Amino acid sequence: MNEDLKVNLSWLPQDHVEASSTENASAAGSSLVPAVDPEPELLVNPWDIVLCTSGTLISCENAIVVLIIFHNPSLRAPMFLLIGSLALADLLAGIGLIINFVFAYLLQSEATKLVTIGLIVASFSASVGSLLAITVDRYLSLYYALTYNSERTVTFILLWGASICIGLLPVMGWNCLRDESTCSVIRPLTKNNAAVLSVSFLLMFALMLQLYIQICKIVMRHAHQIALQHHFLATSHYVTTRKGVSTLAIILGTFAACWMPFTLYSLIADYTYPSIYTYATLLPATYNSIINPVIYAFRNQEIQKALWLVCCGCIPSNLSQRARSPSDV
Q: State residue 129's pLDDT score.
A: 93
Q: In the chain, what is the greatest distance between 2 CA atoms, to the nearest angstrom? A: 96
Q: State residue 74's pLDDT score.
A: 79
Q: State residue 162's pLDDT score.
A: 94
183 phi and psi, to 5 degrees?
Answer: -70, 145
227 Cβ neighbours under 8 A, 6+ residues apart: 233, 234, 237, 238
Q: Cα–Cα distance between 96 and 274 in angstroms, integer?
A: 23
Set out the domains of the chain in order of their start, with CATH numbers.
Answer: 44-324 (1.20.1070.10)
How many H helices and E strands in the chain?
A: 10, 0
Cα dihedral sign for 180, 185, 191, 194? positive
Q: Cα–Cα distance between 40 and 4 in angstroms, integer?
A: 9
Amino acid at 261: P
Q: Cα–Cα distance between 61 and 52 in angstroms, integer?
A: 14
Q: Cα–Cα distance between 89 and 164 in angstroms, integer?
A: 11
**Averages of pLDDT over each 10 residues, the chain, 329 residues:** 44 49 42 44 82 95 92 80 93 95 84 90 94 89 74 85 93 86 87 91 94 85 68 53 71 91 91 90 94 88 82 62 48
Q: State residue 318's pLDDT score.
A: 56
